[in-house]
Structure 1
C-alpha cells in the first residue's frame, strides 16, 4: 500500500552545492531568459500554479540547440542535428557510454503562486537507443538563482539506461527529494517565483533515432501547513467503470522491482486508469513476465515505473511518464484543491489517482494505515462519499471501496499529520495524477483548462 515509506521523511542525502551533475550544455540565468507568453493558470489566492508546454507555440517559444519542433495534432520536440556528444556513466550499472545530445529550454514561467514546492512531469516517446533528462532552474524572491536541478533521467525501457532520480541536490535554500523541489524552511519566507525547464534528448551516436517529447511542465505550489481542511459540499453522484487490480496479489513478486505488494500501489493505480482509457501493454511487452502470474500488466507497470535511485515504483513523474507511453495519452502530476475539483473531473469522465497517508482509524473501512499510498477515485455516492479503486485490497474483487467523504478529503489534502507514535509527519497536500486522451470532449477540455492542465 505504500511507495517505500521513507519518501518524505528519511531521504537524508547530503545537499550538494553544485547540483545537476552529469547535465549537458550550459544555460544563462533564468532571470535573463525570455518570459513565457502564457498567463498563469492560478486564480488570485490560489495555492497551486500549473504550467505545461505542449502546443506548437509553446515549443517555438523555447530555445533549442540541436532540436526541432514537430507540427501536427500533437506537437513535440525532437533531435534534428545533435549539439554535441557526451559520455554518461550509469550509476546503477557502472557502464559508460557515449551519447549524442540536443537540448530545448523553456521560456521563463513566472508562477502566480510563489512556491515552496515544484514537481515536474513530462510525456515522451523514447525508442530503444534514446533517453531524456529533465531539469529545473528557478529564481527566488530575492533575485538569486538556483543551479540546474535534475528532476529525472528517464527512458521507457531499461536497456539503455536505468531510469533514475538524482539524490544530493540542493542549494542554500532548497533541496530536491526524489521528484520534488522543496524549500527547506518555508517559514523563512523563501519562495521560488519563476523557473525554466530544460530537456536534454539523447541518442546512440551516429544514429537517426530520436526521443519525442510532447509535453513538459510543472506544478508549483505553496500549500500552508494544515492538519485539517474545510469540508466541501457534495455534487451529484457519478461513478466511472474503471478496471480493478489489487497490488496484494503480487506480494513477493520481482524483488528487483521492490517486491510487489504494498510497494506497487502507484503502478497498480496507473494501470487501472490506462486500461480505463482503452490502452494496455501488448503480448510482446509482457513476454518477460513469468507465466502464470496474475495480471501481468501490473508487473509490467511496476518495472516501467521503477526508479533505480529511489529503489521503488512510487516516483510520481515516472508514473505519469509511463502512462503517456500509451497511444495518445496525456499525463501530469498536480495538486487539486478539494474533492469538488475531483468531482468535476469525474463528471467529465476523468478518474483521478490520489496520494495520501493515514492511520488505520482515520479512514473508516480501509483496514490499514499507511505512510504513503496511491489509490484511484472513480466516483461519488449520492451522499457525496468517495468510491475508490483501492489497490491495497486482498484481491481484485475487493478493490472497489466506499470511503467517507470528510475523512478522505482531510487525509488527502492535509500537509501535516500525526503518526502512530504521536510524532508530526508530512502529508501530500492534494497531490494526484491525472491521465486523459489527446482527443477530448468540450466538457473535458473546459474542466482540464480550468485546472491549468491544458
Structure 2
C-alpha cells in the first residue's frame, strides 16, 4: 500500500472538502473538442490536446507542431535561455526554452479541482514544465501554477511537484489544483495550459509532447455513494505484480517497495498493453531482485518534492513513455463506468483509502492505495490485481462490489481515530492504446475521455 497520509496533499484537501457543499450541476456547453460528462454521478470535464490541428492552435513561441502518426509539439527555435536551480540537487544550469500555450478552455463543469496530464518524449538533455492558469467564477484569474516539472529520466533534473503555491483562493496540493473553500461556491470556470520545453544550450535536442490536458471536476461531498447494479462478467489477463516483495529495495524511492502501489499498478497495465523494458534499461537494478521492472517504475515515477511514487500525473506520463500507450488521470462515477471499460478490454487503476473493516478480504487499512481493476465476477464483485499482496501469485483478489465502490468514490471518510479524512472521489488512471479500436474509443468516450 502507499505511504502514510501526506499533509502536503491529501490531509489538507480533506479539510477543504469536509467544509464543501454540493454545488448545482452545470449545463454542458456547446459541442467542442472535449470529452465532458455532467451526469450527477460524474461531474467531470476532460479536455486534451492531441491532434496536429490542436498543436497548431494556441500560442506558439519557438515551438512547431509535429505531424505523423503521433502528432505533437517540439522546439523549433528557442526564444531564450533561463537558469534553473534544481531544488533537490542544488545544481544551477542554463537551459534554452520555448513555449506553447493552449487556447482558453471553458469548463462545462465549474470545478473545485483540476488535475493535468501529459505524455511526452524527453531525451537526455531535455525536460518540460506544465503550468495552469484559470479564471474563477468571480471573474478574477489565478496565477500561473506549476503542475509539474518532468523528465522521463533523472540525470538532468529531478522530476518534481512544487509546494507552497496559493493565491488565497486556491492552492496546488502536489498534483491537484483545489479551491481552498469550496463551500463559498467559488469555482474554476476556465483555464489555459502552458508548456515550457527545455534543452541544453547549443544542441538540437527537443522534448516532444503528444498529449496535454486537464480534468476538472466538482464531485459532491459524500461519505457514501449510491450502489450500481452489476452488468458484466469478464476478466482481463493482466500481469500480476506484488509491491510487497520489494520491501527494503531502493529505500531512496519512498522507503522501498512497501509504498510502491502506484508504479506497481502502472507496470501491470503497461505490460498488458505490450510495454516492455529492455535489459539495458534494467541494468541498474540489482540482478538478485525479482521483477526488476517494478524497481524501474518506482524510480521513474518518483516525485522528489512529494517524496513518493504516487504523483498521479507522473504515473500517467511514465506510461506514455512506452511505445503505443497513452495515459490520463480522470474521475469515474460508478462501477458501471469500469464495466464499460472492461467490456472493451481496458483495465483501470483506481485510488482509494479505507479501514481494514471496510474492505472484506483486504487484510489491511490504508490512507491511500492504488490497485488495478481487471474484471467482474458473475455476481458483480470486483476482480482486482492488488499489489499489497505477499507474492505475485496472491495479487488477484475479489472484493465485494458495494464495499469497493464506496471506498473508491466517496470524498470523505473517517480514519481509525474518528477524524474526517479525504477520499479520492473516483480518481482513476486510464492507460490505453494511442490508436484505440473503435470499441475502445466508444468506451473511453462513454466515460468522458477522448
Partner of 1:160: 156
Per the alignment, in what secondary structure is the counterpart of residue 168 of structure 2?
coil
Unaligned runs of 5+ in 2: 14-29
Partner of 1:41: 36
Asked whether the equivalents of residues 69 and 77 of structure 1 are also in contact (C-alpha less than 8 Å), the reply is yes
Per the alignment, in what secondary structure is the counterpart of residue 326 of structure 2?
strand
Per the alignment, in what secondary structure is the counterpart of residue 56 of structure 2?
helix
Please give the residue correspondences for 1:386-425 in structure 2 after superposition, counting only pairs within 5 Å.
Answer: 386-425=382-421
* Distance (whole Å) between structure 1 residues aligned to residue 4 and residue 311 of structure 2: 10
Displaced runs of 4 or more, over 3 A: 7-12, 43-46
Partner of 1:266: 262
Change (3 A) 1:44 1:296: closer
* 1:115-136 deviation per Cα after TM superposition (whole angstroms, max 9, x unaligned): 0000001000000000000000
Partner of 1:352: 348
Change (3 A) 1:452 1:294: same
Asked whether the equivalents of residues 51 and 452 of structure 1 are also in contact (C-alpha less than 8 Å), the reply is no
Partner of 1:5: 5
Cα RMSD for the two superposed structures: 1.4
Asked whether the equivalents of residues 286 and 297 of structure 1 are also in contact (C-alpha less than 8 Å), the reply is yes
* Distance (whole Å) between structure 2 residues aligned to residue 3 and residue 201 of structure 1: 32
Please give the residue correspondences for 1:69-88 in structure 2 after superposition, counting only pairs within 5 Å.
Answer: 69-88=65-84
Asked whether the equivalents of residues 82 and 96 of structure 2 are also in contact (C-alpha less than 8 Å), the reply is yes
Change (3 A) 1:320 1:9: closer
* Distance (whole Å) between structure 2 residues aligned to residue 81 and residue 431 of structure 1: 38
Asked whether 1:323 is paired with 2:292, we answer no
Per the alignment, in what secondary structure is the counterpart of residue 279 of structure 2?
coil
* 1:365-413 deviation per Cα after TM superposition (whole angstroms, max 9, x unaligned): 0000000000000000000000000000001010000000000000000
Partner of 2:118: 122
Asked whether 1:197 is paired with 2:186, we answer no
Structure 1 residue 57: Cα displacement:
1.5
* Distance (whole Å) between structure 2 residues aligned to residue 447 and residue 9 of structure 1: 30
**TM-score of the aligned structures, taking structure 1 as reference length:** 0.93
> For this pair of structures, how many residues does the alignment match?
432
Change (3 A) 1:186 1:56: same
* Distance (whole Å) between structure 1 residues aligned to residue 319 and residue 97 of structure 2: 25
Partner of 1:291: 287
* 1:397-442 deviation per Cα after TM superposition (whole angstroms, max 9, x unaligned): 1000000000000000000001011111100000010001112211
Structure 1 residue 261: Cα displacement:
2.9
* 1:315-334 deviation per Cα after TM superposition (whole angstroms, max 9, x unaligned): 00000000110001110000
For residue 339 of structure 1, the aligned residue among 335, 339, 343 is: 335
**TM-score of the aligned structures, taking structure 2 as reference length:** 0.94
Change (3 A) 1:44 1:275: closer
Asked whether 1:102 is paired with 2:98, we answer yes
Asked whether 1:379 is paired with 2:356, we answer no
* Distance (whole Å) between structure 1 residues aligned to residue 258 and residue 213 of structure 2: 29
